[in-house]
A and B are shown apart, each in its own frame.
Chain A
Amino acid sequence: MKGVEGSTRPAYAAYHDWFRQQDPDRLTKKSLDAEAFFRRTGITFNVYGQAEAQERLIPFDLVPRILAQREWSKLAKGIEQRVAAINAFLHDIYNRQEILRAGRVPKDLIANNEAFLPQMVGFSPPGQVYTHIVGTDIVRTGEGDFFVLEDNARTPSGVSYMLENRETMLQMFPELFSKIKVQPVSDYPKNLRRSLAACAPAGAGPKPTIAVLTPGIYNSAYFEHSFLADQMGAELVEGHDLRVVDGHIAMRTTQGYKQIDVLYRRVDDEFLDPLTFNPDSMLGVPGIMDIYRAGNITIANAPGSGIADDKAIYSYMPDIVEFYTGEKAILKNVETWRCGEPEALKYVLDNLKDLVVKEVHGSGGYGMLVGPAASKKELEAFREKLVAKPGNYIAQPTLSLSTVPIFCESELAPRHVDLRPFVLVSPQGINIVPGGLTRVALTEGSLVVNSSQGGGTKDTWVLED
C-alpha cells in the first residue's frame, strides 16, 4: 500500500480511507466468516505427500491488492505480446523451426527436452492455438517495474480462487464496491467457454460440446475442475468416462456415448494417452492422440505446449518475443543463469547464497532453493545436486519484490506477493481478465507464495478509470 517514502500508493487511497474507519475486531470476525464460507463451500485443496489425504484451505487475506488502470494496461499489453509470441513459437517449433535455423534458440535445448513432443511435429491444432489458457506469473520490484517469473503454458490453476475471492469480498464488504469502482472478473467462465468453443474442430457444428477432463476427486485442484465445469456448463469427465467411438472422443452418458468436441484437460501430457505416452496412465484416454491428429477433437492446452514454459526456454523469452513480434519485449525477464553452461554454473556456485535455484522441469515451488533463506547445510546439499546435474537447474537473483499489506493480528503488515493474470487465446483474439490471482507469502520476509508451501491468496482489484 505504501509507495516510496512511505506515502500511500494512489490506487490504495480510497481503500485506505475506508480501512481506517473499520473496527479491527469486526475485520477479524469477517476473516473467520470467510474461512467458514470456504470450508462450507468446499474450496479446499489436497496436499501431496502428506500422510493423510487431508483437505486444507488456502488462507485468504481480506485486504485486496489494488492496481490502477494505468498500471494494468501496461501489464496487459505486455502479457498479450508475450502470449502471442509463445503461440507463434510453439507453432514454429513443431513445424518449420525457423527460430532454431536462425540460431536464436539452441537446437539441443529443444531436441533433448522432455517437454518437446515429437508426436506434435508437423501438426497444427484447430485454430492454430496451442495455449488456450495461460497464467503468466508476474512480480513487481518497483513502481511499474514488472517482471515475468513464469509463463505457465500447460494447465495453469488458480482461476477459481480469483473468482471465489471476489465473490467472498462482495459478500463481506458490499459497501466497498459501491464506493470504489472495481473492474469485474465474473465474466471469466463465460469467456472461457466462448474461447474454447471458438477453437473447436472444423466439423464440430455451431454448438460444440465441451468437457473438462479431471484426474478425479483426489487431485489437489479438483475443486477448480468442478467449479469451472459447473460455471461453463460443461461436463466434468474422467478418463474412464471417455473412449474412442467412430473416430471421435465420446463420453459415456446414461443414454449412450456422446461426442465431445473440445476437451479442456487438467491432466498432464504424460498421462493423456496411454497408447502414446505413459502406458500405465489410468487418467487419460487410449487413442486420443490419433483422434487429435486426425483433427477431430481440440485438446486445450495442446499437448507439447510445455516446451514454451520450460525454465530453460524462459531465459530465451526476450529473443522469442522479438523474433515473432518484431518488437522489444514489454515485460522484463528475470536475469537467468542456465547452470548447464560452465561459466554460468561457476557464477551460481560462487553466489549460491544470494540466488534462487529452480529445477528446469519443476513446478509448485517443489525442489527449489531460496539461497538467502537456506541454512548452510541446505546450501551444501543443493550444491552437490547442482554439480551432479547442472543442466537440470537455472538460477535467478532474489528480486527485491514490492510488498502489499495484509490484515494480520488486527493491523496491516507488509508481505511479498506475486500475480497470476489469466489469459484466454482463441482465433478471435487474446482476452485477459482484469486482475488475476494474487498469491501472498504469509510469513514475514518470505518470498515463497505457493499454496503448497503455505502461501495465501487475496482479491486483486483493477480500478476503473
Chain B
Amino acid sequence: MLGKTAGGLYWMFRYLERAENIARLIEAGFRIALTRSTDAEGEWKSVVTTAGVEAAYAQKYESYTSAHVVDYLLRDTSNPSSVLSVIAFARDNARVVRTALTTEVWEAVNETWMTLTSLLAHPVRETDLPAMLNTIRQQSALVRGALHGTMLRNDIYDFSRIGTFIERSDNTARILDVKYYTLLPHTSFVGSSLDNVQWETVLRSVSAHRSFRWLGESEMTAAAIADFLILDRRLPRSLSFCTSQIVSNLDYLAEDYGERHPCHDMAEALHSRLRHRTIDSIFEEGLHEFITAFIRDNNALGMQIESDFRFSG
C-alpha cells in the first residue's frame, strides 16, 4: 500500500471521529445550558477549550454564548476543527484513497459530506440544533457501519481503525484534562449539586451517561467516573479501550508486514500504563499530570506511526 494511502485512511478516520466528537461536545454543552442556567458561559468555554480552539475563538468572539460557540464549532470554516471543516477534510482524504475504499464506504462519506455541507450552509437555529446533531451522529454511524460491514480486514482496515482510536483517545483525554478538577476527590464538593452537573457533562461528552448507570455497581463519585473513562475496557471511548485497540491493530500490521517498528513499542508502553492499574494509584500519581502525559504521548505515538509507515515523503 502507498504510504500516502495509509496516511489518507488514517486522517480520513481521524477527521470523521473528530466531527462526531465535536457534535457530542456541543450536545453536552447545549444540555447544560438549557437545564442549568447558573454557569452556561463557563460550560461553553470549557467546550471550546476541550475542542482545542480556545485561542482562535477568543480572537473572533468576546463572549461564550451558545449561538457563537455552536456556530463556531459547527460551521465556521475559519475554524479547522469545525464540523464543516473536518467533514471536508475527511472527504478530501477519502478522494485520495478512493481506490482503497469499498463503494459503500466511499458513498457513505460522500453522502455525509453532501448532507452536512447543505445543512450547514446557513446558521443552525436553536430549535433545529438537536436534529442537526442527530444527523451528524447518524452519518458517522453510517460510515462506521459501512466500514465494518464491507471492508476487508487488512492493512487498509488497520490504518482506518488506528486513526479512529488515536483521535478518540485524544478527545476523551482532553475532556478529562479540562474537567479534571471536578473529578478530584475533594471532600468539600462531594455530593454537591455542582459536582453532579459537571459529572453529567463529562459523561454526556463521551455518550456514557446511560452506560454508567447500567454498570452502576458504584455510586456516582469522582473516582468511579474517572475509573470508567480511563480504565474501563468495556467503554468504547475509555483511554484503556482505545489504546488496546491501537495495540491490536498495530500488531495485525506487524504480522501482515512481518516487521515491527518503534511505534509498536510506544503503543504498548502507553497501554501498559493503563493495564492492571487502579484509579487510586492514578490519583496518587496526580490525575492532571497523568492526563497531560497521556495526551503528549498519544500525540507522539500518532506522529511515530506516520513516520514508521511513511505517510509522507
Contacts and interface: CB of A to CB of B under 8 A. Distances in A.
A305 interface: no
Contact of A240 (B6, B309, B313): B313
Contacts of A251: 2
A39 B92 contact: no
A171 interface: no
By Cβ-Cβ distance, the 4 closest A-B pairs, closest first, are: A230-B99, A254-B309, A217-B95, A252-B3
Given A217-B96, A226-B98, A254-B257, A241 B111 contact: no
B106 A42 contact: yes
Main secondary structure of the interface of B (DSSP, over half): helix
Query: Which of A238, A251, A255 neighbours the largest number of chain B CB atoms within 10 Å of its CB?
Result: A255
Main secondary structure of the interface of A (DSSP, over half): mixed
A237 interface: yes
Interface string A207-230: 000000000110000100010011
Interface in B286-313: 309-310, 312-313
B121 interface: no
B68 interface: no
> Size range of the interface on B?
20 to 34
A53 to B, nearest CB: 11
Interface string B183-224: 000000000000000000000000000000000000000000
Query: Which of B6, B99, B107, B110 neighbours the largest number of chain A CB atoms within 10 Å of its CB?
Result: B99
B105 to A, nearest CB: 12
> Size range of the interface on A?
20 to 34
22 contacts: A39-B114, A40-B107, A40-B111, A40-B114, A42-B110, A216-B96, A222-B95, A226-B95, A226-B99, A240-B312, A241-B4, A252-B3, A252-B4, A252-B310, A252-B313, A253-B1, A253-B2, A253-B3, A254-B3, A254-B257, A254-B309, A254-B310
Contacts of B103: 41
A42 B107 CA distance: 8
B99 A236 contact: yes
Nearest to B95: A217
A235 interface: yes
Interface in A138-178: none
A10 B17 CA distance: 57
A39 B6 CA distance: 26
B268 interface: no
B259 A238 contact: no
A217 to B, nearest CB: 5
Given A40-B107, A252-B310, A229 B3 contact: no
Given A40-B110, A236-B2, A254-B2, 19 more contacts: A40-B107, A41-B107, A42-B106, A42-B110, A216-B96, A217-B92, A217-B96, A226-B95, A226-B99, A229-B99, A235-B2, A238-B4, A240-B4, A241-B2, A252-B3, A252-B310, A253-B2, A254-B257, A254-B309
A40 to B, nearest CB: 5
B98 A230 contact: yes
Nearest to A237: B2
A222 B312 CA distance: 20
Nearest to A42: B110
Contacts of A229: 99
